[in-house]
Structure 1
């Protein structure tokens, strides 16, 4: 006789784990991208905002490495220095980048409209608020008190260099949130992010994933620039971002964190039916 044990979590969402830039703060995710542009300019290498955004979501050292591996950026480095960008060169750019990032992160990291209301509503439901980021710990040491002054203090913060295995697209930061928050099942967690590596992270950790299109890296506009677009242009840009995030495996994609609560309700209904991410 064959026996098969089937177990599905059917309780409520226990935790929502948010990214930072482009998700809760920094509409358009400018702090990491603009500072990378500035850092590379110090080495005589010009990159566009569109190029800077391509590896977004990765840890910052990995982001710089990925930029150097892009054929067009690699060719500029080769022309300037007569060699391909080495890991030592990445170290040098990273060391120049970090002080700039620490100095500038608060300037860009204003809360996205609706963030505090959505987070307060989640807390009212007893849902814990986790977070992880492509920023290293030294940047988060600068950003955390600034965000707190602006009203945002998550229950857990995990930086990309807090864990030996590394950051995204691996599951480790998301799973560290599970441990620190005392969540009983990864299927009770929702990962919210604006980048493909962030969606990959949530999926690798066995979580529900929600992508953010309008506020994040894929659209890459300030809140004012987004609001100034006509409905047709918003729809066009939204569709491009949605497609990329859905192709990465996101279970849902919405414009901003302000649109999150109905999705959480739908996820809870699916969990109650025995569905898993």
Structure 2
């Protein structure tokens, strides 16, 4: 009999890993004509997503490529323009990177059998 389900410190039962946001950043920048490397994309991990975009746009190579493609250095408007599509892309691909934490499905199935 399952009396309780213990989940991680944040209360989540699904592990999204770090690659869904990384892939969403890469796709967002590519759509804007700039292709960041995996290293460039992962470097600011752990910051707020909008700050992640700001940091990437300040990277020497990315900023130079942005200027080449867009004819000007990136502005706050550019950051905001990338952030909206980033969130949409992240939500659209999240399921590809999601995996239930160990034993969550077993616990849910056991609870369902009891009901």
Shorter-chain TM-score tier:
0.7 to 0.9
Q: What is the deviation of 1:26?
A: 3.6
The residue that corresponds to 1:41 in the other structure is 30
2:16·2:94 contact (CA, 8 Å) conserved in 1? no
Can you give the 5+ residue segments of structure 1 that lack an aligned partner in the other structure? Answer: 1-15, 118-147, 153-277
> In the alignment, which of 15, 22, 27 is matched to residue 25 of structure 1?
15
> In the alignment, which of 58, 79, 85 is matched to residue 96 of structure 1?
85
| CA deviation vs aligned residue, 1:41-60 (integer Å, no higher than 9, x gap) | 11101111111100011111
1:17 alignment partner, SS class: coil
TM superposition score normalised by structure 2 = 0.74
Equivalent residue pairs, number: 100
2:45 alignment partner, SS class: coil
Can you give the 5+ residue segments of structure 2 that lack an aligned partner in the other structure? Answer: 1-7, 109-115
1:116·1:151 contact (CA, 8 Å) conserved in 2? no
> In the alignment, which of 39, 48, 53 is matched to residue 42 of structure 2?
53
Q: Which has the higher contact order (CA 8 A, sep 6+)?
A: 2
Q: Which runs of 4+ in 1 moved over 2 A?
A: 148-152
Structure with the higher fraction of residues in strand conformation: 1
1:56·1:63 contact (CA, 8 Å) conserved in 2? yes
| Structure-2 change in CA distance of 1:99 and 1:72 (3 Å) | same
